[in-house]
Copies of this chain bind each other. A is one copy, B any other.
Amino acid sequence: MTATVESVDPRTGQVVEVVAHEFTPDEVDARCVAAAAVAPVLDDAGPSGRARLLRLMADELDTDSDKIVELADRESALGTTRLRGELARSSFQLRLFADVLDDGAYLNVTIDHADPDAAPAPRPDLRRTLIPLGPVGVFGASNFPLAFSVPGGDTASALAAGCPVVVKAHPAHPATSQRCLEALQRGAVGAGLPTDVVSLVHGGPAGADLVRHPAIRAVGFTGSLAGGRFLFDLAGARPDPIPFYGELGSLNPVVLTAGAVAERAEEIAAGLLTSYTNGVGQFCTKPGVVFVPAGPDGQRLAVALAEGTRGYEPGAMLAERIRDAFRAGSDARAGLAGVTELASSSAPAGAGFFAPARLVSIAARTLVDSTDADTLDTVFDECFGPLTVLVTYADGTELLAALDRLPGSLTATVHAAAGEAPTAVLDLLRPRAGRLVWNGYPTGVAVAWATQHGGPYPSSTDVRSTSVGAAAIERWLRPIAYQSTPDPLLPPALREANPWGLPRRIDGVLQQPGRVTGA
């Protein structure tokens, strides 16, 4: 007998129902083989067929939103307001990728006509575009049961690219995963496509089997550093290594200039409080470390943030394992030599997975001078949950020395006063982040054309990619060129007459035709 997969309510710690069982290797194999079998069908549907698929999937999610949100709230304790927003974001995301498909520029069509007089040598007709990699494995994240799970960004972008998806459900929300799968599969039926374009497996060993399966051509993962690195290593150790897009852990440093705290210490404290405690601190973009100038203005900020922290209404974390890891991680930080605990909130006792918010501080000088490598490593490592570390700096030299030790993050944030230009700070943050935020907060990732959600290791295992926004479709594509091929044998994207009305680069020149409709 394989182990059962149970749906647990984090507010009570109780098992509510048994949803599934952990998949055997044969069951994982069946899902992967089925995904490979439908890959050509999804590819042949073309951008317009897949745009229709994504829009129908979005509609099905919207239609079933009451039940999906109810289940997601029961399994995640994130609250129905947040989860309604997250579901709206998920269906918006599916529709954005439909727009990306309608636009067609993502295919990057490049045509060089034959040129017998070309330098340095005669050139045959060459036509290049992007094609789907094949079936993709997607690991649902604990902290976004919708937007980074079954109906999430990786699923949306992979289906858009033409890649069938096998999702490894996160054990913290199996019932939500199952319910969302059914909605997506109804969308597939509506689009006249096989339901196997998206499927689900349960269980930790099934995840490893998925990454190793020969039919799987790429993997998307959002989760912990340890789990992600383990799977990254598996993907790289395959006889045929495959791309592995892991989002592991991110510190998301925030730098406050002296001018910023002089101007608006209390306002920034309020913003930081929301940013580091929202969703019980369970955001990949949670600000984990805040650089604050020493002195009265910085003090005002620390006092206000401490007061806010003490008044924080505790929430249940996503899972028992996550709450336990937060307890251990926050205790470890609070217990470091040189660290002061400025404030913590209360948390109810009982069987639910509640956790207090905690605010600690350390001097930049202590941090940088620490001969104990552990202090730096611990403070500059993600602590998943409602904790942030204030690092107080005496001057610019201390600040820059500390910034120079920062690991890669998804984001880095600067708060400055009007007219300030802290270019030395930006120069140190830029190589360490995927998104630079000015006078704002890192939590809250817009789903848009210009979105970048991914950064230097360990925040991403592949810094060249984004998991959110229109460019995420690039994860699942690879180039192919056709040489001297007769027009009827070319894929439509590469035909001379441009039946899809795509923007193209022809003989070195970008061309953007008026869109042809109905072609």
Task: Give A200 Cβ to nearest chain B Cβ, in Å.
Answer: 25
Contacts of A440 in B (CB 8 A): 124, 483-484
Cα separation A451 to B450 with both chains bound (whole Å): 27
Contacts of A240 in B (CB 8 A): 408, 456-458
Q: Of B437, B447, B469, which one neighbours A483 at CB under 8 angstroms? A: B437
The A433-471 residues at the B interface (CB cut-off 8 A) are: 433-440, 444, 446-452, 454, 456-458, 461-466, 469-471
Also in contact, A111 and B478, with CB within 8 A (given A105-B510, A423-B489, A503-B510):
no
The A56-88 residues at the B interface (CB cut-off 8 A) are: 85, 88
Cα separation A110 to B452 with both chains bound (whole Å): 10
Contacts of A431 in B (CB 8 A): 134
By the criterion CB–CB under 8 Å, are A450 and B243 in contact? no
One of A113-121, A267-275, A293-301, A382-390 at the interface: A113-121
Contacts of A108 in B (CB 8 A): 471
By the criterion CB–CB under 8 Å, are B121 and A449 in contact? no
A241 within 8 A of B: yes
Q: Of B450, B478, B486, which one neighbours A128 at CB under 8 angstroms? A: B450
By the criterion CB–CB under 8 Å, are A464 and B243 in contact? yes
Cα separation A237 to B110 with both chains bound (whole Å): 36
Task: Give A94 Cβ to nearest chain B Cβ, in Å.
Answer: 12
Q: Of B128, B483, B489, which one neighbours A421 at CB under 8 angstroms? A: B489
Contacts of A488 in B (CB 8 A): 421
Contacts of A462 in B (CB 8 A): 243
By the criterion CB–CB under 8 Å, are A444 and B121 in contact? yes
By the criterion CB–CB under 8 Å, are B124 and A446 in contact? yes
Question: Which of A103, A127, A483 gathers most chain B CB within 10 Å?
Answer: A483
Task: Give A150 Cβ to nearest chain B Cβ, in Å.
Answer: 18
By the criterion CB–CB under 8 Å, are A241 and B461 in contact? yes
Task: Give A430 Cβ to nearest chain B Cβ, in Å.
Answer: 7
Per-position binary interface string of chain A over residues 467-481, scored 1 when its CB falls under 8 Å from any chain B CB and 0 otherwise: 001110000011111
Cα separation A483 to B444 with both chains bound (whole Å): 12
By the criterion CB–CB under 8 Å, are A446 and B112 in contact? yes
By the criterion CB–CB under 8 Å, are B508 and A510 in contact? no
A236 within 8 A of B: yes
Q: Which chain B residue shows the least CB distance to A238?
A: B457
A131 within 8 A of B: yes
Cα separation A241 to B458 with both chains bound (whole Å): 9
By the criterion CB–CB under 8 Å, are B464 and A120 in contact? no
Task: Give A376 Cβ to nearest chain B Cβ, in Å.
Answer: 15
Q: Which chain B residue shows the least CB distance to A479?
A: B452
Cα separation A301 to B66 with both chains bound (whole Å): 69
Contacts of A464 in B (CB 8 A): 133, 243, 477-479
Also in contact, A123 and B448, with CB within 8 A (given A232-B241, A464-B478, A485-B436):
yes
Contacts of A508 in B (CB 8 A): 99, 103, 449
By the criterion CB–CB under 8 Å, are B435 and A483 in contact? yes
Contacts of A128 in B (CB 8 A): 449-452, 469, 471
A233 within 8 A of B: yes
Q: Which chain B residue shows the least CB distance to A482?
A: B436
Contacts of A370 in B (CB 8 A): none
Contacts of A469 in B (CB 8 A): 128
The A487-506 residues at the B interface (CB cut-off 8 A) are: 488-489, 503, 505
Task: Give A423 Cβ to nearest chain B Cβ, in Å.
Answer: 7
Contacts of A503 in B (CB 8 A): 510
Q: Which chain B residue shows the least CB distance to A233?
A: B236
Cα separation A99 to B127 with both chains bound (whole Å): 19
- Known: A112-B449, A434-B480; 16 extra A-B contacts, CB below 8 A, are A85-B121, A92-B119, A103-B510, A108-B471, A118-B446, A120-B447, A128-B471, A232-B241, A233-B237, A243-B464, A438-B483, A449-B507, A451-B481, A452-B479, A452-B481, A503-B510
8 example contacts (A-B, Cβ-Cβ < 8 A) are as follows A89-B120, A112-B449, A118-B448, A123-B446, A233-B236, A435-B481, A503-B510, A512-B512
